[in-house]
Structures are given as structure tokens and as C-alpha cells.
Amino acid sequence: MKIITPHPIIVAILCTALFTGCATRPPRLTLRQMNASQVGPVSCEFDPAGKERAKYWSAAAQADLASGGGGGLAGLLTAAAMAGISSAGGQSQLDAVTKATGAFERPLLMSEVEPSMKGAGFSLQSGAPAKLSVRLIQYGLYKNFNEMAVAIIDADVELRDSTGRRIWRGQVRGTSANANKLKDYAANPELYRQGILSAATSFSQSLLDTPDYTVLAL
């Protein structure tokens, strides 16, 4: 039986394609880079499966969990308990803040997303078959190690064309420009509203420049 040896140049091209992924991996486009006119009219909507309660979490609580309490099952349970205690008081204060402000986060976020999509060339139309869907992963206040809390919005966003085919998906984060102490939010709930507005503005800007298949480190 005659053995056919492939030409060295062909072998080199195939190996390069295999290891670089250029033969099969499409470019990770952002929404800004897409041809919006080819997508056609788009409707924007919230995924009802998204989170509905504002969340308080902190760098200290995350550090407690990461440390594992010194290792072992007992250590992990201790770390989880410490993280829970650390977060419970802050969550209680945030719940009081959101009770005072009422539920405003979703419509506010969409009021920032829609103009950004229009600015990127997308035609928005209520009820259009192509859909931009936003599913909230978490939103609320995040306290850093300096005891200052910023407003954060994290969401899973996907764009489907008129046939229902997903053409873009990414996880997007928006962070407020300013931070305040938790007690200041509790004393003046309007600070929370301002923080969420700032985070929503940041989110809408990041949305357009997030590459397809981006996953956040939550």
C-alpha cells in the first residue's frame, strides 16, 4: 500500500490554524462593531428570571469565604458563618433603603440602555421580533475594604435576531462613579438612587464595548 505524505507547507498551515484557532473561532464582536442595519428593528426587554431584590455584599465577606477559615470542613463552615454575619447587617440596612425608594432599578436601567443601543445604530421598536434581553444577575451595594460602598449592576445580556438565533451574549457590569458609607445611604436613600443611576449609565456604556461571550468574575 502506497503511503501519501502531505506536503510540509500544508502541514504547517493546518498546524497554525489548529493552535491559533483561526480556522474555527469567529471574532468576538462587540455590539458596537455589529452591523446594526442587518439585525433590523430590536425590542428591549427584561428577563423575568432575573434578580428582583437589591443585594448587599462586601469585600470582607468574600475574603472570609476565600480564606476558608483555616481549612477543613469546620473552617469552611466558620468562614461561611462569618461571611453571613458580615453581610446580614448591611442587607438589612439596604432593604430599608429600597423600601424607602421603591422598586425603580429595572426601568431606570432600561432608560439608559435604550439610548445607548440607538447611539450604536440599532433601530428600537416595541414588539420587534429581534430582541435584546437583560437578565439581572445581581445589583445593589458593594462595600470595599475602605468601608465605602459603590452601587453595582451585573446582568447577563443577549441579542437574538428575528429568527430567534442568538447572535451576541455577554455579562456586563456597571459601577457607580462615587462611593458612600452604608450609614449615609441609610440616612439618605436618595444617595442609593443616584448611585444606581450612575451604575446604569456605566452599564449602558460597557454594554456596547463588551465582547461576545464575556463572563464576569462575580
Contact status, residue 46 vs residue 134, Cβ threshold 8 Å: yes
Q: What pTM was computed for the model?
A: 0.80
Name which of 211, 145, 204, 214 is nearest 179 in CA terms: 145
Position 176 in a domain: yes
Give the torsion through C-alpha atoms of 92, 93, 98, 101, to 10 deg: 150
Residue 15 lies in a domain: no
pLDDT > 90 in the chain, percent: 70
- What pLDDT score does 87 carry? 80
Name the domain count of the chain.
Answer: 1
Residue 184 lies in a domain: yes
24 in any annotated domain: no
Q: Is 196 contained in some domain?
A: yes
Domain containing 97 equals 29-209
Residues 155-197 pLDDT 10s: 999 999 999 999 999 999 999 999 999 999 999 999 999 999 9
Cell of 142: 458593594
12, part of any domain: no
pLDDT band at 217 (very low <50, low <70, confident <90, very high): confident
> What H or E segment, with its residue span, contains residue 122?
none
Handedness of CA 99, 101, 148, 172 (dihedral sign): positive
Confirm whether 91 is domain-assigned: yes
62 located within any domain: yes
Q: Are 184 and 94 in contact (CB under 8 A)?
A: no
Helix axes 190-209, 105-119, angle to 10 degrees: 30
Write down the mean pLDDT value for the chain. Answer: 86
